[in-house]
Every structure is written in structure tokens, then in C-alpha cells.
Amino acid sequence: MTDTVARYFDDILARLTDLRDTAAAPLAAATEAVLDVLDRGGRVFVFGTGHSHTMAEETHFRAGGPAFTVPILSGPTTVQDGAVAGTVYERLSGIVAPILDRYGVGDRDMLIVVSNSGVNTAPVEAAQIAKDRGAVVVAVTSETYSAHAARGRVRIADIADIVLDNGGPAGDAAIALKGSEMHVGPVSTVIGATLLNALFADVAQRLVDRGEDVPVYRSANMEGADEINAKLVARYRDRNPHL
């Protein structure tokens, strides 16, 4: 293993170790909030722009993941329809309202907004619109990066009911290249996925503890998975347009 590879692994491991303590309280609060949403028949939406949209995909039709999550996917605000254009779109005011309208985010629901910098217009407006509609808003963000990038702007962390701070550095890239001023090795995806999967694992365990049904997808190549997953798809299809 090269020094650079080792430094990146060490950095990720150290950050995840720290999060076991620093994220414990907000994760517990998020678990309770998700359970409350499920108890009232609501949905758990996940939205992000740019690379953060991969967190919405991470929670969708995922082996070992819940069936009650709904990804909010809009090509123009991601990298798939052009990365440069996507950066422009995620900074445009007004673009996210019709996207949320399509999904029908309302007062029974939760919106998890993922934005590492926490200040781009689309995720900030998504958080505010959902909050105004009475939905529970959870932010997955970097408090350090968003404080650095805000420059007087509102952050999703300022709007959210619960903040899951990924502890990432400003600019996301954590590893300084020796002999250069450049930094590489982004950390927000690894940590963001860990936070969300930890949250939904905790929710699943709580449902088991309550003696309730746990709607979790199986990996397609596991025995019995096709039947189990087909039942979940039939159950949630009218609530999730991406099934």
C-alpha cells in the first residue's frame, strides 16, 4: 500500500471513528423522526444535487435497505445531463419547487437533503419548501464546509430540524499531495452513505423491536429475493415513482 493510499484510508477511518460519538445524538433523533413519519403513513424522501444525488440512489431499491425511502431524482440538477450545466442548475432559484411538487412532499413526510457545502440554492430551497409544508427536514452536510462557504448565505443546516454533520473539511478533498498545494480524496460520499445506512439500519432494528413488519430489500441473487422484492415493489409502487 502506498503512502497516499494509506493516508486516505487512515483519514476515512479516523473520521468514521469520530462520528461514532459526534453523530450518536443526531442519528438517534433522526431514527425517532423516521419512525414518527412511518407511524403516520408518510414517506422518507432523499434529495441532493450534483454528486450528492448519489445518496438518493444509495437509499433506493438497495439490498439491505428500506423500501419506504423515495429518491428525488432530476437529471438537470445532477451530473448525468452535463456536469457544467448541473452546477448552473443547482444554483438557480425556483428550479426545485416543481420538482418537489412532482413528488408531493407534504406534512406527513420527511425530506433528507444532502449537500456537502450546504449552500447551493436548490438544496437550500428544497429544505425551506419542505419545512414550510410541514415536513421533517434532515440535513446531511458538512458544518465546517458550509460555514466556510456561506458568506452570509442561508445553509441547509440553518433550516433543518436535524443535522447529520459528516465532519468533512472545506472543499471535501482531505489528502494534501506532497510537493503540491493540491488536495485529493473526497470524503463526503463515503461518510454520507455510512450515516444514511446507519440511520436506516437503526430504524429497521427498532421496527423489529416493536414487533412490526420491516420492509427491507434483499440482494437480487440471494435465495427468495425475487419473491420478497416483488411484494415490496407492489406495496410501494404507488408511493415511489422510480419502482
SS3 136: strand
pLDDT tens string 124-180: 999 999 999 999 999 999 999 999 988 989 999 999 999 999 999 999 999 999 999
Looking at residue 83, what is its pLDDT?
A: 67
Task: Return the minimum-mean-pLDDT range out of 6-15, 78-87, 93-102, 160-169.
Answer: 78-87
CATH architecture for segment(s) 3-239: 3-Layer(aba) Sandwich (3.40)
- pLDDT at residue 78 above 80? no
| Least confident stretch, 55-64, 77-86, 208-217, 233-242 | 77-86
pLDDT band (50, 70, 90) for residue 85 = low
Long-range contacts of residues 168-173, Cβ cutoff 8 Å, at least 24 apart? 168/15, 168/116, 168/142, 168/144, 169/142, 169/144, 169/145, 170/142, 170/144, 170/145, 171/145, 172/116, 172/142, 172/145
Give the model confidence (pLDDT) of 22-47 as tens digits.
999 999 999 999 999 999 999 999 99
Nearest to 48 by CA among 196, 185, 161, 240: 196
Return the domain boundaries, the chain.
Answer: 3-239
pLDDT in tens, 170-181: 999 999 999 999
**Which amino acid, 115?**
S
- The DSSP code sequence of 166-212 is --PPTTSEEEEPTTSS-EEEE-HHHHHHHHHHHHHHHHHHHHHHTT-
Q: Please state the pTM of the whole predicted model.
A: 0.94
